[in-house]
Amino acid sequence: MTKITPEMVREHGLSDSEYATVLKLLGREPSFVELGIFSVMWSEHCSYKSTRVHLKKLPTKAPWVIQGPGENAGVIDIGDGDACIFKMESHNHPSFIEPYQGAATGVGGIMRDVFTMGARPIAMMNALRFGEPSHPKTRHLVSGVVSGIGGYGNCMGVPTVGGEVNFHKSYNGNILVNAMCVGLARQDKIFLSAAKGAGNPVVYVGSKTGRDGIHGATMASAEFDDASEEKRPTVQVGDPFTEKLLLEACLELMATDAIIAIQDMGAAGLTSSSAEMGDKGGSGIELNLDMVPQREENMTAYEMMLSESQERMLAVLKPGREDQARKIFEKWELDFAVIGITTDTNRLVIKHKGKVEADMPITALSDAAPIYERPFTKRAPMTGAPAYDKAKPVLASLEKILAAPDMASRRWVWEQYDNSVMNDTIQHPGGDAAVVRVHGTQKALAITTDVSPRYCRPDPFEGGKQAVAEAWRNLTAVGATPLAVTDNLNYGNPQKPEIMWEIVAGIDGIGEACRALDFPVIGGNCSLYNETNGEGILPTPAIGGVGLLKDVTKMATLAFKRAGDVVILIGETRGHLGQSIYLREIEGREEGAVPPVDLAVEKKNGDFVRGLIASGRVDTAHDASDGGVLVAIAEMAMAGKIGASIGQAGLADGISFWFGEDQARYVIAAPFAEAEKIVAEARAANIFVAELGKTGGDTLALDDSDSVAVSKLSAAHEGWFPRFMAGEEIPVRN
């Protein structure tokens, strides 16, 4: 047996105290395979050891929650016996090293998390953060990530319906690629991962196992440095063709009653899938690695247990159902092998070539995994209202903002994603939320991903709250009832107290908002150690939200529909410019307090707007957030190719009125008679409301003093991304 040296322990990312625990749990020195298994199962990526105590504080329950965190994905009730299953997950580190494959396998992995529970994936979203546009690597990374997401999702035939793209220098050495998958199942056909009972066959299906991705989970749990490119061999290679066959074969098998438990082999592959299934089922698992379909010769037990080869699943079947299952996988030309059996020993036993390579209690990998209450140092949130030049011309600033890297149209990105396959995409990318119909019904799901990282560094708590509120608002703006969220918490190194505080405050902010808005967290993922050479990313807790539209014909889109509609602003404007897009893009500063979110007002205003849409009275709505009210109105005008004449209302001066990022606001448009009623009802309900003007013409005219052609705004808005990607424009932020 290989002698375990302190160097080997360190290379496996285990601390001295963690290794001491390993020795205590086993009562002996681990084998090399066991050391590898502990290394991945106790990695931050698999064990959530730094965040677990804080994640417990999140609200996870509601009458419509069928399955909260802890399974492969969360499940909610969407009526009529239908269930929606969804989750968001990061693939940050691999995507920086190898953008195409990193992003592609991120998409593949999150799809497996959803279809392993019995759901057919019906929509994909993604939240992407890149370094500043002028950084020499940024274009290459954008290009690779976008084509990787498209390459995988398009082949799967699942529409990619939206997402976010941000640029900021804090991501120069550590981009974020968060992918979200939403699926549909019947409530009585949901599959879980608990391998209950002894003597049941453990089957391996999908692709063969190779040497790719060994220790991917460990890589994802460490900081980057300049030598990180050498980690390229730990990036997996995706094959969407095989995944598509695996999806169809699994759904075909799931239509039978042969399955006891099933789980995809994601991070830490065969190790985590077998350990987690045994742990949840309260049983043991014995695997014979001789039976594992292998792509390469002479693979060792260590390599097979730690491989992260893609497109593989592990299932526990009812005894005697192997042949029925085998026929289905053979039809789809996929590997199928019985590689083990469940036992009543609660131990994970790995045999290879007649030798026992590992024999360890499963609870040592789960319950006994380390949990840390890492120390954190509070930092006072940034405060104050920054000064700005009140004489700057408003419309010139608007045009500049619409063409800023964070604000320009993402058409260049989404046109590379098949967003209409499956024939149920009702709202395509570019709106507040994507809307995807539940096949064969009149109801639909609204889906969004949101976070404003620029708020999360100055004030991690308010930033966390705001991310949830904005997701809730975006679902509301299309008329959907927000139901639940998945969170993808991207932060730096949790062993630094100031970063740990960002994590704790962010989770607290998310929790507070989710509680106030009845918007439980049903699953998610933490990605820590997003640092390169000691520089952490902006805290980026991405929120993926899902809502339900009971009748898809009563829905709002952001485009102006008719000339003569009254443009109405719902929600109070105080002119909050701290940390705003305006301040950053026009004044060149990132300063001041972030806009506070009053959750009671958020709920009141949102419920009011949703009621107007659901009753069919309003078909045009948009949330006013990034860039403020004027940007929102410009987006509505550009989408509808209809102009508007508007004037400011309220006390704030022109610039702070038009560009302030006060929260809980919506712009809606409605014909005159309806608008009068809406304004009266809002006032009666003590909701701030203001009539800003009327739609019509082909210009955006401001206070009867200045105007700009909508087509000119569109040209600025649409032009930046293609020019940037063609290398024609490398902006330097002022």
Partner 1 sequence: MKSAVIVFPASNCDRDAATALEQMTGKKAAMVWHQDSVLPDVDLVVLPGGFSYGDYLRCGAMANQSKIMGAIKAHAAKGGAVLGICNGFQVLTESGLLPGALMRNAGLKFVCKPVSLSVEETQSSFTRKYDKGASVTFPVAHGEGNYYADTETLDRLEGEGRVMFRYRDNPNGSARDIAGILNEKRNVLGLMPHPERVVDPLNGGTDGRALFQGLIESLS
Which pair of tokens denotes residue 625?
């957030």
Burial letters 366-380, b for 16+ CB under 10 A, else e: beebeeeebebeeee
Q: How far apart are CA 214 and CA 307, in angstroms?
A: 4
The residues pairing with 74 across neighbouring beta strands, listed in sequence order, are 86
Q: In 3-state terms, what secondary structure has residue 88?
A: strand
Cβ neighbours for 536, distance < 8 A, ≥ 6 positions apart: 170, 491, 492, 493, 496, 499, 530
DSSP state of 260: E
Q: Say which residues have a Cβ less than 8 Å from residue 433's Cβ, sequence separation at least 6.
A: 162, 427, 446, 447, 448, 474, 475, 477, 478, 480, 545, 547
Q: Which helix (H) or strand (E) holds 477?
A: helix 460-477
Q: Minimum distance from CB of 162 to partner 1 (Å)?
A: 13
What is the spatial distance between Cα 86 and Cα 72, in angstroms, rounded to a whole number? 9
We find the least distance from the C-beta atom of residue 244 to partner 1, in angstroms, to be 4
Residue ranges that bind partner 1, judged by CB under 8 A: 147, 150-151, 154-157, 239-242, 244-245, 332-333, 414-426, 437, 439, 552-553
Could you tell me which residues are beta bridge partners of residue 162? 125
Two tokens, residue 113: 């998390």
The number of helix segments (H) and strand segments (E) in the chain equals 24, 28
CB-based burial label for 20 (10 Å; 0-12, 13-18, 19+)? exposed
CA neighbor of 64 nearest in space, from 517, 522, 438, 454: 522
Instruction: Tell me the DSSP string of 135-176.
Output: STTHHHHHHHHHHHHHHHHHHHT--EEEEEEEE-GGGTTS-E
CA distances, 727 to each of 131, 167, 169, 324 (Å):
16, 16, 19, 55
Q: Specify the residue for token string 């550590």.
A: 174
Sequence-distant (≥ 6) Cβ neighbours of residue 675 within 8 angstroms: 565, 566, 568, 691
Shortest Cβ 317–partner 1 spacing (Å): 24
3-state secondary structure 488-548: EEECCCCCCHHHHHHHHHHHHHHHHHHHHCCCCEEEEEEECCCEECCEECCCEEEEEEEEE
Q: Which one, 4 or 146, has the nearer CB to partner 1?
A: 146
Assign residue 136 a region (left: φ > 0; alpha: ψ between -120 and 50; beta: otherwise).
alpha
For partner 1, the closer of residues 345 and 416 by Cβ is 416
Nearest approach in angstroms of CB 170 to partner 1 is 28
Q: In what order do the strands lie in the sheet with 82-90?
A: 65-67, 74-77, 82-90, 176-186, 120-130, 160-167
Amino acid identity, residue 315? A
Nearest approach in angstroms of CB 79 to partner 1 is 19
Q: Residue 675 is inside which H or E element, if any?
A: helix 672-684
Residue type, 468: V
Nearer to partner 1, 147 or 714 (CB): 147
CB of 191 to partner 1, least distance (A): 21
Spatial separation of the C-alpha atoms in residues 402 and 55, rounded to whole Å: 37
Select from 251, 211, 220, 216 the least CA-distant residue to 112: 251
- Residue written as token pair 């965190």: 69
- Supply the minimum distance, in Å, between the C-beta of residue 429 and partner 1: 10
Question: What size, in residues, is the chain?
Answer: 734
- Amino acid identity at 491: Y
Q: Note whether 263 and 72 are within 8 A (CB).
A: yes
H/E element, 666: strand 666-670
Of 153 and 520, nearer to partner 1 (C-beta) is: 153
Catalytic sites, residue numbers: 45, 91
